[in-house]
Amino acid sequence: MILSCPHCQAKNRVKSERFNDDPSCGSCGQPLLAGRPVALTQANFADVLAASRRPVVVDFWAAWCAPCRGFAPVFEQTAAGHPEWLFAKVDTDANPQLSQQLSIRSIPTLAVFRDGGVVDRLSGALPAAQFEQWLAAALR
């Protein structure tokens, strides 16, 4: 699968069997899956969900959406504090088929996936404390 580095945006090919070995970026050497949300697309979404042994927390967003932009720092801070989960973002404008397939009707929509399936989902931005509470409940 192809993953964009969340640090330098370089494209990296990661074999499915190596996904959970904490791969690093071939360009900058930073970890691909820890500390910052990774960008998922129609092309890599299913592969990442299938390969991840960690729960995947996804923020479905769009650049024009003010609540999405306001929530982005909360999402990034939470990602930095929880390396045990994989945080990802899906641009709904750039991936309309994926948004339609997952019935994303409003943004931001937050979803938690485990073993490839949706555990919980929520529409709307949350303050940091409420986001942490929601994640804790969803990942029990």
The answer to whether residue 76 sits within a structural domain is yes
Q: What is the pLDDT of residues 39-77, one digit of tens each?
A: 899 988 998 888 888 899 999 999 999 999 999 999 999
The answer to whether residue 30 sits within a structural domain is no
Count how many domains the chain has: 1
The answer to whether residue 85 sits within a structural domain is yes
- Looking up residue 118, the CATH number of its domain turns out to be 3.40.30.10
DSSP assignment of 27-55: TT--BSSSSSPEEE-TTTHHHHHHH-SS-
Q: What's residue 15's pLDDT? A: 86
The answer to whether residue 112 sits within a structural domain is yes
Q: What's residue 16's pLDDT? A: 80
Q: What's residue 108's pLDDT? A: 97
Tell me which residues of the chain have a pLDDT lower than 70.
none
Q: What's residue 131's pLDDT? A: 96
The answer to whether residue 3 sits within a structural domain is no
- Residue 38: closest CA among 66, 10, 68, 67: 10
The answer to whether residue 11 sits within a structural domain is no
The answer to whether residue 100 sits within a structural domain is yes
Both tokens assigned to 89: 């973002």
Q: What is the extent of the structural domain holding 105?
A: 36-138
The answer to whether residue 54 sits within a structural domain is yes
Q: pTM of the predicted model, to two decimals?
A: 0.86
Give the active site residues.
Answer: 65, 68
